């Protein structure tokens, strides 16, 4: 299964992976426009987005990303991410965050050794869909609270207007399984 790419998905992943929050609707729209409409422009935008975090060490970057993706318990993943960033250069951290975000979306129904990522993948898919719902709601003129959306009061305005399943379909820009961001 492959993740369907879109500017909205890339921007949502970057904001959740690095900031653990979703931008206001105005900022989201600006970021989406800056990201462009092609895979090449999305990659360039991810590279640019990650440049804002170059002051952090590779260890701090890895911890930030795995924590914000809900996998801070996975020391092995964190160590592998540090090694990967050391090997390819931390200037590529935005691209790596998007790649990891996509990979996690694809593990909701994994089997074998990768099945340990089923629950985090389901939570990540829900978080990305809710982030999209929040940021596309014009009533949300400020960034969401930091942290997972579950139980956060400011997230309720987005969820009241659109079910998560509908947001998932809109986020990827085509009809898909209502329970997944994958086709």
Distances from the Cα of 150 to the Cαs of 37, 57, 159, in angstroms? 31, 30, 10
Q: Which of 142, 163, 161, 145 is nearest to 153 (CA)?
A: 145
Distance of alpha carbon 68 from alpha carbon 87, whole angstroms: 22
Q: How confident is the model at residue 147 (pLDDT cuts 50, 70, 90)?
A: confident
CA–CA distance, 114 with 124 (Å, rounded to integer):
15
pLDDT digits (tens, 9 = 90+) for 35-62: 999 999 999 999 999 999 999 999 999 9
Paired strand residues for 3: 182
pLDDT tens column, 26-38? 999 999 999 999 9
């Amino acid at each position: 299964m492959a993740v369907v790419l879109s500017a909205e998905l890339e921007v949502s992943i970057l904001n959740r992976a690095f900031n653990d929050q979703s931008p206001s609707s105005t900022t989201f729209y600006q970021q989406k426009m800056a990201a462009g409409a092609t895979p090449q422009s999305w990659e360039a935008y991810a590279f640019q987005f990650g440049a804002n975090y170059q002051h952090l060490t590779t260890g701090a970057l890895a911890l930030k990303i795995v924590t914000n993706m809900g996998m801070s318990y996975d020391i092995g993943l964190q160590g592998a991410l540090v090694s990967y960033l050391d090997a390819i250069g931390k200037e590529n951290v935005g691209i790596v965050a998007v790649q990891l975000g996509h990979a996690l979306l694809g593990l909701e129904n994994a089997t074998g050794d990768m099945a340990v990522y089923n629950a985090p993948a389901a939570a990540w898919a829900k978080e990305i869909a809710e982030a999209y719902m929040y940021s596309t709601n014009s009533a949300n003129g400020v960034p969401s609270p930091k942290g997972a959306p579950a139980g956060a009061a400011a997230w309720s305005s987005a969820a009241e207007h659109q079910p998560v399943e509908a947001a998932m379909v809109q986020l990827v820009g085509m009809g898909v399984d209502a329970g997944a961001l994958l086709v």
